[in-house]
Structure 1
Amino acid sequence: PQNHDTQLVEALNLPSLLNHFTSLPESLQSRYLLMLLRQSPLPVLRTIHSVLHPTFAGDFLSLLPPELVSHIFGFVTVPALGRACRVSKAWRKRIEGDMIIWRGVLMRTGLWFGDETEANFVKMLLKKRQNFIHQEGALPLADPYKVLFKSRYLTYTRWINNSSPKHISFPAHGHSVVTCLLFSQNRIISASDDHSIHVYSLTTGHLLHSLDGHEGGVWALAEHGNLLVSGSTDRTVRIWDLQNGRCLHVFGGHASTVRCLVIVKPEWITHSETGEREKWPKRTVVVTGSRDRTLRVWRLPKHDESREIESRVLQMPDQSDFPDPSLNPYHLHLLSGHSHTVRALAARGRTLVSGSYDSTVRVWDIPTGRLVHILNGHSQKVYSVVLDSTRSSEGWGYGSGGGPSGRAASSSMDGTIRLWSILTGECLHVLSGHTGVVGLLGFSPSFLVSAGVDNTLRIWDALLLTNSTHKSGDLLRSVMTGHTGPITCFQHDQWKVVSGSGKALKVWDLRHLNNVNAAPSNLLVDVGVPVRDLLTGITGVWQVAFEGRWCVSASKRDNVTVLDVWDFGKREAKRGSGWTWEDEEWVGEPSNGMYDHEDSELED
């Protein structure tokens, strides 16, 4: 009875104790509670935990509509998003898998180009993931836009900031000139005037295959998935299987060197008159250009198709006397009209553009072989033609381009670059400034880059080039001087140019040019300074190619042909103790926005 009375008295005193507790400052309330908890037995603590845990363990994100979550995180900085992903697996899954969040991040950070490159990246990544096996308990894969942001951010920063990328070099092709250089799918493919084509491992430099068969120098290469197409001074076109190094087909028909070639893949385009979407070409085709003044269009064979044509050619006693190409089931068209060597090709959809030593540029309709336009204006040999393939594919049909997407550029021995409308054949701009042959051109979403024998690179504003009212002098953004000899090769993207000349391979920073949003009349021509020399002490750089974290070059050093490979995803640690910065999720983007894989979904 006495214990009962005591409990009753204490219960009656609880209201006054609570009033006293609530009247205390928060700091004293916390201290008072801690004192009580330290004196409490385990059963009491368990009771308190069962009450508090549901309150603090609740995930407020799961209570909000997905649209609201995306909107909230749209105001969060990238570092804060990274910290939020570490809160829990649920938060990481929610944030990394949200397309809206990462699309917004790309736009806010200036890494969204606003053309087809984003859509092509997503399509490529989803295709690669089709055979991915998800491990039980593993987190879902990140949204493709998140992977794209990381890849572009690493490309934006590491190429400039990584002062000591991993570097390997190895001899190739003896003492011969490397005429072509490609790399994709962890393979380096080099061709030479020694008649050979070599396939190397990108990571180790080991020779995987030597593709032998051409009887002359190889001057043109293009890759499509595991198929390689080559053109040679022996006048043949060969199709190779890159998985086993076998020659699948040999096409004859050209009467002189096959100087250039391009692979044209099926894609959806819009009919210029009806507005209906159609797929062109229906099957992947190869277009070859030759010193015999002609172009030929071939259907690219698949792996499992007959090797009848190759057998017929190889059994002939006289290799110089090829079968009539009209008997070749893969031969589609002979395009005639140029009066001199066909030096350069560019193609997309139905549209083919050729440049020739006859000083003209011609536009063709691929499926019919019809000549659409003859573009006159250059006074000397045309050395390079490029399509502005970073724009929408909607315009690459029926030999015409709708709006600014249907543009081609050409460069010449006359020292000028001309920009053409594919739709009308009109010359939109004549870009002057080089003092000699302009042999190399390249388009990216923001820039047209030209290189010449005057030792300079010139950067032109590709966005302003869409408007023919701008004066050509207002379109020049930068002149890059620093090479001491003619520029023999280059590649560029939104943020950098890598260029080679007689004695050096240089990297140039374009990032500051992307940040200039002034009116054309206020733009100042920037004098570019190289960030670094990747190679010095050489006697010639013939080729360079980069994608994502990788850069490959072919040069001559001590009278030996050498391939160099840099991995900007890794940095040499101090005192040579190893390598750091392993970035497996750094996915490279091709310079033309068109990914190198066989898309059977678009093939008939």
Structure 2
Amino acid sequence: MLEETLKSCRLTQSRWFENENPKHISFPAHGSSIVTCLLFSYGRIISASDDHSIHIYSPTTGELLHALKGHEGGIWALAVHKDTLVSGSTDRTLRIWDLSTGNCTHVFGGHTSTVRCLAIVKPEIVEVVKEGGEIVKERWPKRPLIVTGSRDHSLRVWQLPKPGEQEYKCFGTEEEDPDPKENPYHCLCLSGHDDAVRTLVARGKTLVSGSYDCSVRVWDIISGEQKWTLSGHTDKVYSVVLDVNRKQACSGSMDGMVRVWNLVNGQCQHTLKGHVSLVGLLGLSPSYLVSAAADSTLRIWDPDSGESRHTLAAHTGAITCFQHDEFKVLSGSDGNLKMWNIRDGSVVRDLLTGITGVWQVVFEGRWCVAASNKIGVTSLDVWDFGIADEVDVEEEVDINME
């Protein structure tokens, strides 16, 4: 199965670069509202908007499969695990949805301001230091968790409800927010930041959060212990990524800097200079760290040495979205969506041109989806770089992991 998956990756990669005419459809979505989040999972496009709605679309036809309604504010955070979707909103709640039915099964209250970022933490094998210094490998967390970050300065940890488990819906009242301690799925409240939590990432037992208080903090999401406060940025932190293999985290800030932090000793290993304005987006793959900024450039870095490899400088406006892997980068800015060769920094093609702006882009296996504004109308564009009988890489890997 692994050999077949790697073969599929190579074949799909060649098609991304060489296929001049991939299958392409475009359809309207969310009226004229901004698409704040975009996911592609198990053959479904999942888009969220500041119009309070979440839509599920078919990538082959553009058909609207489900419209998930219930939030009373814009949705600014999404995460998905198989048939379970988690959303966070300006209405201060966290909602859990069953994607097979489109039903909302749980509503979690407790944050006192916008839920700005979230992640689903799946169990995996991690190294744990026992008393006496012995290092053993254990599976953490024991069951999937949700971590949320809010403009109320706090983070919260919740158990991800399993399909069929007791439904729980807690809304609070106009006069009073709900007490999360009454929620059987609530685990921890992590306090320490002095301003809004803008970004987070979590794996195993490790959570990394970035805040408008200019700090990056590292937490143990099982015990709630704050392990490190990483200080060095001089302005708001907008993006973080976690590299568990190298035991480091990276952060991007409004100060224009990218910093690489050592999670063993809490020290800054590298300060990556080059951007001249807000570094709002970071991405990490095994061989590449990519940063994107309001200065209209993306930069490719060596995550080991911090050395700059390439500067991608063909956009004319702030980078609004991007995703990358070991071969390519897709990036959106005012008026266009570009594909780059990450290995030499060259432009491969323009996927979209002549549009007002690109809000989100995501690719998975053979599929690419972008959300953009076309003369005041919100549109989703879908490209299929595969062949009719090809199996998506994501599905193959998950089948192999079961």
Same fold (TM over 0.5): yes
How far the C-alpha of 1:587 sits from its partner, in A, is 2.0
SS, match of residue 566 in structure 1: strand
In structure 2, how many angstroms separate the alpha carbons of the residues matched to 1:495 and 1:274?
A: 39
| 8 Å CA contact 1:221, 1:231 repeated in 2 | yes
Matched, 1:582 2:368: no
Corresponding position of 1:224: 81
User: 1: CA distance between counterparts of 2:182 and 2:265?
Assistant: 36
One-letter amino acid of the counterpart of residue 506, structure 1: K
| CA offsets 1:49-79 (integer angstroms, 9 cap, x no match) | xxxxxxxxxxxxxxxxxxxxxxxxxxxxxxx
RMSD over equivalenced CA pairs, Å: 1.8
Q: Equivalent residues in 2 for 1:494-513 (5 A)?
A: 494-511=326-343, 513=344
Partners in 2 of 1:301 and 1:586 — Cα distance? 27
Equivalent residue for 2:216? 361
Residues 118, 200 of structure 2: 8 Å contact kept: yes
Match of 2:63 in 1: 206
Give SS of 1:244's match: coil
Q: What SS class does the counterpart of residue 194 from structure 1 fall into?
A: coil
1:535 aligned residue (352, 356, 371) = 352
The answer to whether residue 24 in structure 2 is matched with residue 167 in structure 1 is yes
Within 2, Cα distance between the matches of 1:161 and 1:177?
Answer: 32
Counterpart in 2 of 1:350?
Answer: 205
SS at match of 1:150: helix
Aligned pairs for 1:172-571 (under 5 A) are 172-272=29-129, 273-307=133-167, 309-310=168-169, 312-313=170-171, 318=173, 321-389=176-244, 391=245, 405-462=246-303, 464-465=304-305, 472=306, 475-511=307-343, 513=344, 528-569=345-386
CA distance in 1, matches of 2:222, 2:207: 10
Post-superposition offset of 1:155: 2.9
Q: In structure 2, what is the Cα distance between the partners aligned to 1:155 and 1:388?
A: 26
Deviations 1:351-383 (A, max 9, x none): 000000000000000011111100000000000
- TM-score normalised to structure 1 length: 0.64
Partners of 1:488 and 1:148 lie apart in 2 by: 31
The C-alpha deviation readout for 1:8-66, integer Å capped at 9, x for no partner, is xxxxxxxxxxxxxxxxxxxxxxxxxxxxxxxxxxxxxxxxxxxxxxxxxxxxxxxxxxx
**Structure 1: stretches of 5+ with no match in the other structure:** 1-143, 392-404, 466-471, 514-527, 570-580
- Give the secondary-structure state (helix, strand or coil) at the position aligned to 1:247: strand
3-state secondary structure, aligned to 1:338? coil
Report SS of the residue matched to 1:436.
coil
Name the one with the larger helix percent.
Answer: 1
Query: Whose relative contact order is higher, 1 or 2, with alpha carbons under 8 Å and at least 6 apart?
Result: 2
Per-residue CA deviations over 1:249-275 (Å, capped at 9, x if unaligned) read 000000000000011011121223322
Question: Please, which runs of 5 or more residues in structure 2 have no aligned partner?
Answer: none
Higher-strand-fraction structure: 2
Larger Rg: 1
Measure, in 2, the Cα distance between the counterparts of 1:151 and 1:428: 36
Q: What amino acid is the match of 1:453? A: A
Whole-Å separation in 1 of the counterparts to 2:17 and 2:82: 31
In the alignment, the residues of structure 2 paired with residue 245 and residue 487 of structure 1 have an alpha-carbon distance, to the nearest angstrom, of: 33
SS of equivalent to 1:352: strand
Distance 1:285 1:598, change over 3 A: farther
Mapped partners of 1:597, 1:493: distance in 2:
21
Distance (Å, rounded) in 1 between the aligned partners of 2:81 and 2:400: 6
CA contact (8 A) 1:224 1:598 kept: no
Alignment partners' CA distance in 2, 1:319 and 1:346 = 32
SS of the equivalent of 1:276 reads strand
Percent identity between the aligned chains?
61
Displacement of 1:344 after TM fit?
0.4
- 1:58-107, Cα deviation, whole Å (9 max, x unpaired): xxxxxxxxxxxxxxxxxxxxxxxxxxxxxxxxxxxxxxxxxxxxxxxxxx
Show CA shifts across 1:308-338 (max 9, x none).
Answer: x31x53xx6x356332111111110010010
Q: Distance in 1 between matches of 2:145 and 2:376?
A: 39
Give the deviation of 1:145 after TM superposition.
Answer: 3.1
Deviation readout 1:429-469 (Å, 9 max, x if unpaired)? 0000001000000011110000000100100112x33xxxx
Distance 1:293 1:149 in 2: 42
| 1:441 partner SS | strand
**Structure 2 SS opposite 1:271:** strand
Q: How many residues align?
A: 399
Letter aligned with residue 351 of structure 1: T
Q: CA deviation at 1:589?
A: 8.7
* Alpha-carbon distance in 2 for matches of 1:187, 1:426: 41
- 2:314 is aligned with what amino acid? G
Tell me how far 1:301 sits from its aligned partner: 0.7
